[in-house]
Chains A and B, each alone.
Chain A
Amino acid sequence: MTATSAQQWPPKPPRWVSDVGWRTVVGGLLAGGIIHILATFAAPVLGSGNAFAKLRATLPENAMVVVPPVAPGKQILPYVPPDAMYAMCRFDLTAGPVNVTALIADTGWVLSMHTPQGDNFYVMPRQLLRRDEVSFTIVPRSPTEHGRSPKIAGPTDSQVVSPTVEGLIVVRAPLKGIAWQAETEAQLKRSGCTQVKG
């Protein structure tokens, strides 16, 4: 008898399983679906570890800052390419437009603009530019505009519309080697981000 029980396959489910009604299972799955959707949409709202929140404390408003070289324990953000230097500006358009100037010197150099949610709404890579130096003004979006796709820069852009009042400008400058660090840093320091006066 014992030997017969040991060989029984598939094993008999516990008795409580037969007490579970089909309405409970269907209701549980439906509620699970709702919780899945709520959790997915709530994650960006409830989380505090996003890139903008991390950088907000360290970056002054409307000023371009060359970030110290990336090293263990001194990373600005996770998974960023480490053999590059970065200049960053936290812009705020509450008091008006912001002027941006930057040097985009070589292949791999790129200027990007991000919303606090991490959306990259504008990007300017070196290979699309005819000149090294770029200059433009960021203005807030009017309530009637509904641009969605990220815009890749044209060489003559003089005004960029930001979908949010606050955001980040990042200039990434890949390093060819440690010998180029001082030169790259000097080039990055030519970038600027200032509130338009008057």
Chain B
Amino acid sequence: MKLLANLIVNVMVFLALAFGGGLATAWYMIEAGSPLSTRSFGPWTAWTSAGRPEADPYTRAHVFRNGLLPLSTTLEVAFRAKLDSTGSRLTSSCDYTLQLPDMAPAWWNLAVFDGQGRLISNPAERYAFSSSSAARQPDGRTVISVARDARPGNWLPSGRASRIVLVLTVQDAATAATIHDEGIMRSLPEIKRERCR
């Protein structure tokens, strides 16, 4: 009887380690990413080889599973933020401000999505700003407010989703080179939380 109980315990532990551990770590590496396949700059994270034919297996699985169609990161990089610059989860019940430096001649786009990458419905029907649509300050900077209610200037509505994700897409060879050569990224904006309800 003792032998049987011992066998059952060992089989259960083996299966938990094999399936639980193996599948959970694979899921984490594919969905959240790790320093093997992503680079983080403050709250912004990019998959460094997304879209490239020689991408690592985690990146390929991430792109495939999430139904993404990225451009090669040799040309354009999509930075995704789920947290603000203090490390708190981004949510539509808080207001945020981003100050983008003058990135000319690069093309950029800042969009807000829910946690599944879906657009958030809002009465203004505005879902993004880009370098060709946002109003700039005289010094070339662009200030964007992400908030539920209307704000003066470049207001990006966050609607009534609970968790939000900001995606900053930058089409620029210098930015693309920085994420591959371990350089310091200077042009990514801080996500400053202004107030919460």
- Which residues of chain A have a CB within 8 Å of any CB of chain B? 16, 19-21, 24-25, 27-29, 31-36, 38-41, 43-44, 47, 49-51, 54, 70-73, 75, 77-84, 106-108, 110, 112, 114-115, 117-121, 123, 125, 127, 148-150, 152, 163, 168, 170, 174-177
Contact = CB atoms under 8 A, between A and B. Distances in A.
B14 A39 contact: no
Given A72-B127, A176-B133, 8 more contacts: A29-B21, A36-B25, A39-B27, A44-B60, A81-B169, A108-B132, A119-B55, A175-B133
Contacts of B61: 40-41, 43-44
Nearest to B61: A43
B51 A120 contact: yes
Interface stretch (B72-80, B83-91, B178-186): B72-80
B30 A72 contact: no
Contacts of B29: 36, 40
A70 B121 CA distance: 12
Contacts of B63: 50, 118
Given A32-B17, A36-B22, A150-B52, A83 B72 contact: no
A20 B52 contact: no
Contacts of A106: 132
B32 interface: no
A43 to B, nearest CB: 4
Interface of B: 5-6, 9-10, 13-23, 25-27, 29-30, 51-55, 57-58, 60-61, 63-72, 74-76, 78, 80, 105, 107, 109, 111, 113, 116-121, 125, 127-133, 165, 167, 169, 171
A153 to B, nearest CB: 10
A123 B71 contact: yes
B21 to A, nearest CB: 4
Contact of A77 (B20, B64, B69, B71): B69
B171 A125 contact: yes
A157 to B, nearest CB: 15
Contact of B132 (A107, A114, A120): A107
B146 to A, nearest CB: 14
B26 A149 contact: no
Contacts of B20: 32
7 contacts: A27-B14, A31-B17, A43-B64, A75-B117, A79-B167, A150-B52, A174-B109
Contacts, number: 211
A78 B53 contact: no
A146 to B, nearest CB: 11
Nearest to A44: B64
B51 A119 contact: yes
A177 B75 contact: no
A110 B25 CA distance: 36
Contacts of A31: 14, 17-18, 22
B64 A108 contact: no
Chain B CB within 10 A, most for which of A38, A72, A118, A174? A118
A121 B53 CA distance: 7
A75 B52 CA distance: 23
Given A43-B30, A120-B70, A149-B54, A72 B171 contact: no
Chain B CB within 10 A, most for which of A80, A110, A112, A152? A80
Nearest to A147: B53
Given A29-B21, A78-B113, A110-B171, A40 B30 contact: yes
B75 A117 contact: no
Given A118-B68, A120-B70, A177-B133, A40 B58 contact: yes
